[in-house]
Amino acid sequence: MRPNIKGSTILVTGGAGFIGSHLVDRLIADGARQVIIVDNMFVGNEMNLQDALSKGAVLYKDDIEIASTLDYLFSKYQFDIVFNCATKALNYSFVNPKNAFDTNVTGVLNLLEHQRCGHFKTLVHFSTSEVYGTAVYEPMDENHPINPTTTYAAGKAAADLAVRSYAQMFGLDCFIVRPFNNYGPRQNFKGYLAGVIPITIYKILKGQKPEIHGTGLQSRDFIYVYDTIDAIVKLYPLMKKADSVNISTDGQVSIKDLIQQISSLMGYKGEVLHKEARGADVETHNASNQKVKKLILYRLTPFEVGLRQTLDWYKENIE
């Protein structure tokens, strides 16, 4: 029997990051007995957990690639559920390709070994749409071929296979959620690891010119982070062992349109810089969300609404 979120002791890896910190808030709101976070603070930010820490969550600033980190946590707490959100952003794979791969693979293998030893019951593993690569057919459903184009995505794909094989070999209760591009409050806006929405907002707020890499015709399926979290907690009791599910919207936005939309919301009429295309940039990410829609009452915030709220958050939180 899969433990309920309510009343459980839960570990969230990478929980000081963007999606993980929203998940932590939701788990607390849904009545988790205790939420423990482990994050090596690579981009994690304690500010993201301000509310959660005030409500009794505990943050360990430590690394899940180091097996003894998890040995310590599993000896100290009796976890029921683990949500594995820890990763290093895609752009990092262009700087340190090996470690981008390693983080995604070693972290989950360390967790799976603890699960195999009976140290917790259920693993919810975060995959990414990046594992599909550029679409072979559209919309991309969960059976789309895995064709990663970066070591980040290759590591995520290998992690998915590890989760599935451990589930098959040892009957472990683990499943995979596969979000498409998320946006919303708390997404990292600093430096080369920042996503396109926060970096564009940041640049305009700071009086800098926003940038488009390549033609700008490459498109993404942008989902509001609160919708992703809502879907994951609703999916939690329903997912079969070893199964995976896309979490995406019904539409796509090209990067060019996105920059235009952000510029117009922010009243920016200046120049947009055109930069060289990034190597291995995926052209299109047109997802099928039929499966998630069949499983749960799926909530999707209109893009303009989510974008406006996100913008308000950055205005308040970037000095």
CA distance to 14, 18, 184, 187, per residue, from 22 (Å): 11, 7, 10, 10
- 196 or 268: CB nearest ligand NAD: 196
Q: What residue ranges bind ligand NAD (CB under 6 A)?
A: 13-14, 16-20, 38-44, 63-65, 85-89, 103, 107, 126, 128-129, 156, 179, 181-182, 188
CA dist 127 and 180 (Å) reads 9
- Is 152 catalytic? The answer is yes
Nearest residue to ligand NAD by CB is 17
- 19 or 296: CB nearest ligand NAD: 19
**β-pair partners for 275:** 213
Nearest distance, CB of residue 61 and ligand NAD, angstroms: 9
Residue 34 sits at φ, ψ, to 5 deg, of: -150, 140
Nearest distance, CB of residue 298 and ligand NAD, angstroms: 17
CA distance to 25, 212, 253, per residue, from 194 (Å): 22, 14, 18
Nearest distance, CB of residue 37 and ligand NAD, angstroms: 9
Nearest distance, CB of residue 184 and ligand NAD, angstroms: 9
CA distance to 7, 35, 105, 148, per residue, from 31 (Å): 6, 10, 31, 37
- 92 or 166: CB nearest ligand NAD: 92
Nearest distance, CB of residue 207 and ligand NAD, angstroms: 26
- 41 or 318: CB nearest ligand NAD: 41
Q: Which residue in the list 92, 152, 166, 226 is annotated as catalytic? A: 152
Catalytic residue numbers read 152
